[in-house]
Structure 1
Amino acid sequence: MRNIKIIVLILSVYRIAGHTSLNHTKESFPRNTPGKLSNDLRNVLYQESIVRFSMVQNIQRLTMDVINIRSDRQTLKKNLDDMMEEVKTLETNGQRLQQENNVLKQNLTDLYATCSDNKRFTAKESQGFDVSQILTMQRQISVLKNNNDRQAMENENLRGRYLTLLQENGDFKHQLNEMNATLSQIRQLDDFNPRLQAIENNIRKLTFSTDVALNDIREDLNGSKLQLQNIPSEVWAACEKGWYQFEDNCYQFSNSSLTFNAAVTMCNSASKGAILLEIRSPEEENWIRLQMQRQGWKTTWIGITDSLDEGTFVFASSGNKIQNVHADWGRGEPGGGTGENCGLLLLKTKGWHDYPCSSKYRSICKKARV
């Protein structure tokens, strides 16, 4: 139990630290940052959140494994104690039934002897008795026979009960052997304690090294913050209000659900030189996915289509083939045939997909930074 409390405490500390760090980061830095410095800062924050989330998942999984193992061990021990108690009860009942069987056998022997004595009366020996005495003796003999039959039936029932008990005893011995094997496995679990202690030591070491790394990251971020404060204000205004900068481009996120062609038209009219999102590099795609996750988006249109030539996808703004620049299709994609001619980015899956152009999804507009 002490080990579990330590793990739960570590988990709580990381949850609090993660929540505080992320909130502080979001409040301390503007989302519109210039050039590669802004990209590096965001990548550092993104990597920090991934490391913390992975550690929390590992600690949760280790905690649940320890709890489940100890719960199974306690259940098995309780079942074993119950079965041992049943064995003692069955042995006591068996001894009692054996004693009853011996008594019944003795009574049966006495009845057989009595019947044999009664049969020795011959006609000659019966001449000395009157009719009433003979009838009385016959009735007594009939009663003895009935008692004998009843005792024989009870003895047969007792034999049946005894055989059933033997069968149950055999089944119980089989179960007891299985429980002994399980108990051996439980005893082997005692060897888990040193391994658990080793895991806790590794967690402590990982916690210390992670704290050191996070402190270094915070120091770098504080230094970068001072540098950002010295950047002229006109640099921050490189993108218009409502647009977000990544490298040399500005992006506008539209929550309206539009068809592909409507999204193209909307972006062209949103600002001079704006087009529907065209992803030109893996770094740009990673940044787009991160922004979608932050805003709670699941899908967005990509400005690619094969409407003019089935199977040949080109950028909607220029008609150039995407294979000459960057393509990140998912497994089996594009595979929609003539019914799916427009590109779509899904957050939960890796790679691009082709979807019907008449479907309605959110869109992202893109233009070069002035």
Structure 2
Amino acid sequence: MMEKSIFIILIFLSIHGYLALPAKDETEENNLYPSTTSGKTSSILRDILNQESLVRFSMVQKIQNLVMDAIDSKNNTEILKNKLVYLGKELNALEAMDQRLEQDNAKLQQELSAIYERINDTQNHSLASIQRLNDTEIYLLKRQFLALRRENEVVKLENLKMKEQLNVDVNTARNETSTLKVQYEKLLQKNEAFESNLHRMEKEIKSTNIDSRLMMIEDKFSNFSRAVDKALNDIRKDQNATNIQKLSFLSAVNSDGGSVVAFTAYASSGKDYNSEPIIFNSVITNEGGAYNSNTGIFTSPAVGVYVFTWTHLTRYGQYCHAYLSKNGTIQNIDAHTNLSGLSSGVYTMATMSGTLHLSKGDRVWIQANHCYGFLGAPYNSFSGWKL
């Protein structure tokens, strides 16, 4: 029931974001009352509308506070319940340990009594034998007897300490349990008050006419979707223009008829990467055949200076690090995007470039590190060429 009420309140909050439209309301109010209406009546009506807007705004703030209090109360209740269960288990374990210690103490007392009985029996039945013993044997028997007495005293002290500690632990656990019970009862009272407020707010929401506001929300969402589509199309056009500029630059650089080494590729589909090369599997240009579309790795065919550039688009709620790597060593050039925590319909693009001096056989690729929300074609590319 609480989840349903919270859902209704969230809808109510979304709707109230569009309730304050002063210009439109004033126009409609002017249309409702003809020009013959006195200025005083119009002023009173505007004051009433302003007061209603203030009341609605105050209601929204109260609902938000109630929702936050409900979430905090629910979390605190769960924590207290878990702690109560944990303390209950500890208390049962301590009581079980107390019982075992009492049993061990009783066994030790029985053994000590048996030792005393054996000693008394030995003394009573062996007086004559003891008198016949020499001084050395008597001295050894006395030492053994004293050692037994000391061991018995040590055992008694240890048992006493363990019992005192057990009593302290049990009392502490009981005090904590009592405190938690009081806190739990307070939370229950707060929850009851919150549920009462939710029922009251639910009745107020049901009594409000929201059909027209819902239609306005749907219109605004449609406009927002169209704006997002337009932005994505603009991004595609910009990327295509960038690729054309790259190819034009390559043609100008190699117009002298020398050996051309250049490539451009893109990933046809998106996926999540983590500590691995990003594979741009679809090749647009691969002059010299130095780029491997299966591994995403460029292998230098000759010594020289090479330029690399790469681009990627990340969707809402995700982030991505895309580094330039040479022979497995990160070059600290990162095309980084971060949209963590943002809602749907938001995208961001990152583009980086770098120049490396390569020997023949050196390998270069784009190394992903926690790259999530990586979108496929046409929102990414990896290019390189030899100067």
More helix by share: 1
Instruction: Answer whether TM exceeds 0.5 for this pair.
Output: no
Which structure's relative contact order is higher, taking Cα pairs within 8 Å and 6+ residues apart?
Answer: 1
State which structure, 1 or 2, has the greater radius of gyration over its C-alpha atoms.
Answer: 1
Between Structure 1 and Structure 2, the one with more strand by share is: 2
- In the superposition, the TM-score normalised over structure 2's length comes to 0.43
TM-score computed with the length of structure 1 as normaliser: 0.44
